Structure 1
Amino acid sequence: MNGDTAALPPHRPGSTPAGTTDTSHIVQGTPAFRRTAAALFLAGFSTFGLLYTVQPLLPEFSRHFGVSAANSALALSLSTGLLAVSMLIAGLLSDRIGRRRVMVAALLASSVLSLATAMVDDWSTLLVLRTLLGIALSGVPAVGMTYLAEEMDSRALGLAMGLYIGGNAIGGMSGRLIAGIVADHWGWRWGIGVVSLIAVASTLLLWVQLPPSRHFQSRRSGLRELPARWRSLFADPGLPLLFATAFVLMGVFVTLYNYLGYHLMAPPYGLSQTVVGLIFSVYLVGTFSSAWMGQQANRYGRSRVLGICYGLIALGIALLALPWLGCMAAGIALVTFGFFGGHSVASSWVGSRAGAMRADASALYLFAYYLGSSVAGVLGGVFYTHWDWLGVCGFVGVLTVAGAAVAWRLGRRTQPATGELALSR
């Protein structure tokens, strides 16, 4: 546990000699699988908890700092935007010094920056700290996905990735839920502070639980090599479409959650910060969806399951546009289920198609993922300002139709990559 590499000879997946058993990759159902799944679950939990803890506080920021809805959304969009860009560099750093070291250091730095955010009283300073937090957090998401793709047995990867993304769901729910409820009683500073302290504890558990890498091989790749490597990834018929899928899925999801609080705290609903925070408990369906949809993709094909996820999101948006709270609750649950299911399918598909370049592909996938959060999240504020909640629903509805078209093209154009068999149909 002192470093990121273990004292084992290099091993390439699929290279086990005949008559021997590959025991170097982590197999589902083993103690190593449980430790790894728990550690990466905590990493996803803390990452999304820290990143999205400000989301239910956006209306409070508007009131406290006197800023508009679109301006308030910058507290989240700047973090996700810089996270998207910085992940491209974080991947290179992890290639040199190891996955485990980067994840632990990044999570610790992010926790400290989040604590500092709770102590400021200037809007510009808060945005600077949230920007730095996005940069620091970049060491977790792409590296975590790469770690799983390198260390997991191919038959365990779908479930492991689903559990990791399930940690994202629980962390996103808990960060929003805790911040909203605490802020309603003791103010937004305490809301951010409590989530930050939980992240510090989770960082310690990540450091203790995550096993050393057995298949990591240090390589000194530089920025000048990136364009050539990316060109080879974009030459693949499926990967660019998967990057577009990431942009659309996250753009739709974050935009709806950004402005749902404004809508429900305004007349005629007038809900409290606590009640709005409780809405994020619907993230629990994402915990189930990410793992279950990953397994269904193995059975019925990734493109087919991805199309179903878009259908669920579209139905959810239609229900959210209705004025009744019951329909809106069902709508946000459907959107959440479809989003986490689609993200689980698409992210595992990227790792399978990219082969030896999975670290670069994961970084580009998550670049598009968080770029969608940043760009669509701010644009949604413009639609909310001019056309209120129905404008937001119309905006994400158009994005969803575009995403469904991309999923259809994936099914038409993508051929199975090596080792995928019929998983890409």
Structure 2
Amino acid sequence: MEHNKKWAIVSLASIPLVMTLGNSMLIPVLPTIEKKLKISSFQVSMVITLYSIVAIILIPIAGYLSDRIGRKKVIIPSLIIAGIGGLISGYAAWKMKDPYMMILIGRILQGVGAAGAAPVVMPLVGDMFKSEEEVSKELGVIETANTFGKVLSPILGSVLAGFIWYLPFFSIPVFTAISVILMFFLVQTPDKREDPLPFKEFLKCIKGIFKKDGKWLYSIFVIGCILMFVLFGVLFYLSDMLESKHNIDGIKKGFILAIPLAALCLSSYITGKKIKESKVLMKWITFGGTILLGASVFAISFSENIYFLIGTFVFCGIGIGVALPCLDALITEGIEKEERGTISSVYSSMRFIGVAAGPPVFVLLMKASHQVMFYSITGLCVIAAFIVLKEIKPDEIE
């Protein structure tokens, strides 16, 4: 039984890994897509933004459906839709004269698939394990897979595009097919729902949860959004600095971007194993992580030296990496199984908002001045730390 559960976790961990690759892998390829399609910077940014917007809108619906009809019944079709989206984008880039609109349609389908795949994994882990300690540990593995996808993305995207610029699109259906096979054969889930509540009663129940637990839930939503906003913003900044100030691009840039992400990945994994079921520990690790993140962002303002930048970004990665598994565990363990999918999907939507907002907001702040950017983001991290301190009360999270 234990062996089966280990394989189930490996299978589930493949989903956030694949979904992360499906989006983040394109970031280092965007300048190439812009040149090949002869489009503007704004148009090429839509390749990332539309994916995120669609996911933000549909994630809560996917969460609700997973609570009503079962997790696997939502995850597997979603993975197939994401694969079809990648196939459409890749085929359009390969065969069409003016493929831009079809690439966007493919990316929209990928966003639909992403909404119903990765966010549903978190409540499914909560369903599969009874002990809070086990849930925390396995959510740490899931978060690690997610962050490992971010580590691998810039490297894999650069390598694939080095062969053929549209190859990253075609890699998506291959990855999703692997996840579908793993999910189908290796994940046995408690998918049967006994007498699901009518929709009106379900809404009443969700309102009751927010009335009772709203303070700490809203706090976790905001903190998750801020962490992902800062992560994708500072990655964008580092990517820009490597090219504009240090003339580093291509695969070499991909490997450098992977260094702070590797720190994030490792710290997520270790935190997931150590926090067990201690909500007090989760609170203080999250607080420490946001303070470390704020201090690291503030320190970046002192130098543009490449070694100093990379070193400081490693600490940014650690700060985010220790906080994320704690937030995941607090959400999953604090909500009853019947509403877990819906509540955790709202949290996933908030994280996606941070992902979508990070790069464009950082562009605007950088245009104002780099100092304004650093001080604004430091202030945001301090606000996140204050929210952790003030609003997350372990004794109120059952």
TM-score range, shorter chain: 0.7 to 0.9
Distance in 1, matches of 2:394 and 2:6, equals 33
Within 5 Å, give how 1:68-83 maps onto structure 2. 69=41, 71-83=43-55
Q: Tell me by how many angstroms 1:307 deviates.
A: 0.8
Give the aligned partner of residue 354 of structure 1: 335
Are 2:154 and 1:176 equivalent residues in the alignment? yes
Q: 1:102 aligns with which of 56, 74, 85?
A: 74
TM-score, scaled relative to structure 1: 0.82
**Cα distance change on mapping 1:70 and 1:252 into 2, 3 Å:** farther
TM-score of the superposed pair, with normalisation by structure 2: 0.87
Partner Cα distance (1:220, 1:188) in 2: 49
How far the C-alpha of 1:389 sits from its partner, in A, is 5.5
Measured in 2, the distance between the counterparts of 1:246 and 1:36 equals 26
For 1:16, the equivalent position in structure 2 comes to: none
CA distances 1:123-153 after superposition (whole Å, capped 9, x unpaired) = 3433332222111211112211111111112
1:53/1:160 Cα in 2 relative to 1: closer, same or farther (>3 Å)?
same
What residue is the counterpart of 1:15 in the other structure?
Answer: none
Match of 1:194 among 163, 171, 174: 171
Verify the 8 A CA contact 1:73 1:258 in the aligned structure 2. no
> How much has 1:164 moved relative to structure 2?
0.8
> How far off is 1:373 after superposition?
1.6
What's the counterpart of residue 264 of structure 1?
242
- How far 1:337 sits from its partner (Å)? 2.1
Tell me the equivalent position of 1:330: 311
Displacement of 1:34 in angstroms is 0.8
Match of 1:48 in 2: 20
Are 2:63 and 1:91 aligned? yes
Q: CA RMSD in A?
A: 2.6
Alignment of 1:307-322 (within 5 A): 307-321=287-301, 322=303
Matched with 2:283 is 303
Aligned equivalents of 1:362 and 1:131: distance in 2?
Answer: 22
* 2-structure distance, mates of 1:232, 1:54: 41
1:171-250 paired onto structure 2 within 5 Å: 171-183=149-161, 185-213=162-190, 217=194, 219=196, 221-222=198-199, 228-235=204-211, 236=213, 237-250=215-228
Secondary structure at 1:33 match in 2: helix
8 Å contact kept, 2:89–2:106: yes
Within 2, Cα distance between the matches of 1:148 and 1:215?
15
Count of residue correspondences: 385
Percentage identity across aligned positions? 16
Structure 2, gaps ≥5 residues long:
none
CA distance in 1, matches of 2:378, 2:126: 33
CA distance in 1, matches of 2:41, 2:389: 35
1:43–1:140 CA contact under 8 A, matched in 2 = yes
- C-alpha spacing 1:215/1:163, structure 2 compared with 1 (3 Å): farther
**In 1: Cα distance, 2:377 partner to 2:15 partner:** 29
What per-residue deviation string (whole Å, max 9, x for no partner) do you get for residues 337-392 of structure 1?
Answer: 222321111011011222242222101111111112223333223334x2466555
Give the corresponding residue for 1:373. Answer: 355
Structure 1 distance, partners of 2:333, 2:60, is 19
Q: Deviations over 1:87-126 (max 9, x none)?
A: 1111222233321132122112212212322333543433
Structure number with the higher helix fraction is 2
Equivalence for 1:253: 231
Q: Distance in 1 between matches of 2:225 and 2:146?
A: 17
User: Mind listing any 5+ residue stretches in structure 1 that lack a counterpart?
Assistant: 1-25, 419-425
Cα deviation, residue 244, structure 1: 0.9
User: Helix, strand or coil: the match of 1:212?
Assistant: coil
Q: 1:146 to 1:166 in 2, by over 3 A?
A: same
